């Protein structure tokens, strides 16, 4: 398919940010568009009546556990002039015992290699998180809710197994947050 036909097809498909609009909207306007979609999801799913109540000064929407045992966040981030939609759901705290770290890393890599979703498991600070980072310019409006749901579902599908095997540590983890 010629590139101009592909661009037209993409723009007709309902992408939240079409290539035509990328040149017309500032990054701040695009960010506000996606943040409004996140807020709409929060209200529709009854996570919070007022999304501002769970939004911090940096714009992260902090989700309490909903539909799963995990809490997490959604945000729109800028990196090198491009916007990304990021969702993360906490799976568990990192174990303090050093002998558990390598087996945990191996298990996370194994799950990532066989996971039938775009979300992945990784480490952020002192925790294991299910995450997904998605370029805003490739998103459709529906991707906001689907991405949040997918990440939290991934966290919920693995947290019990991982906590049973690697959680319940006897030491408190020290170091960076």
Strand residues in the chain grouped as ranges (E): 61-63, 72-79, 82-93, 120-124, 127-135
- If DSSP codes are grouped into helix, strand and coil, which group holds residue 122? strand
What number of residues does the chain have? 177
What's the chain's average pLDDT?
Answer: 83
| pLDDT attached to residue 13 | 41
At 67-88, the pLDDT tens digits run: 666 799 999 999 999 999 999 9
More confident residue, 170 or 27: 27
121-165 per-position pLDDT tens digit: 999 999 999 999 999 989 888 899 999 999 999 999 999 999 999
Span 3-166 CATH architecture = 2-Layer Sandwich (3.30)
CB 63 within 8 A of CB 151: no
Angstrom distance (rounded) from CA 90 to CA 50: 22
pLDDT single digits (tens) 102-112: 999 999 999 99
Computed on alpha carbons and rounded to an integer, the radius of gyration of the chain in Å comes to 18
Give helix 143-166 / helix 27-44 axis angle, nearest 10°.
Answer: 70
For the cut 50, the answer to whether the pLDDT of residue 93 exceeds it is yes
What pTM did the predictor assign? 0.79
């Amino acid at each position: 398919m010629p590139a101009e036909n592909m661009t037209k097809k993409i723009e007709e498909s309902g992408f939240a940010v079409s290539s035509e609009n990328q040149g017309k909207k500032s990054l701040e306007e695009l960010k506000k568009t996606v943040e409004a979609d996140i807020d709409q999801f929060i209200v529709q799913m009854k996570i919070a009546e007022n999304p501002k109540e769970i939004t911090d000064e940096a714009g992260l929407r902090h989700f309490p556990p909903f539909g799963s045992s995990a809490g997490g966040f959604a945000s729109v981030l800028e990196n090198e002039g491009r916007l990304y939609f990021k969702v993360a759901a906490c799976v568990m705290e990192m174990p303090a015992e050093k002998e558990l770290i390598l087996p945990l890393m191996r298990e996370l890599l194994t799950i990532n290699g066989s996971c039938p979703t775009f979300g992945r498991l990784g480490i952020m600070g002192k925790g294991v998180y299910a995450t997904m980072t998605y370029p805003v310019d490739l998103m459709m409006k529906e991707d906001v809710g689907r991405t949040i749901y997918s990440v939290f579902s991934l966290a919920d599908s693995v947290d019990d197994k991982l906590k049973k095997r690697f959680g319940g540590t006897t030491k408190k983890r020290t170091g960076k947050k």
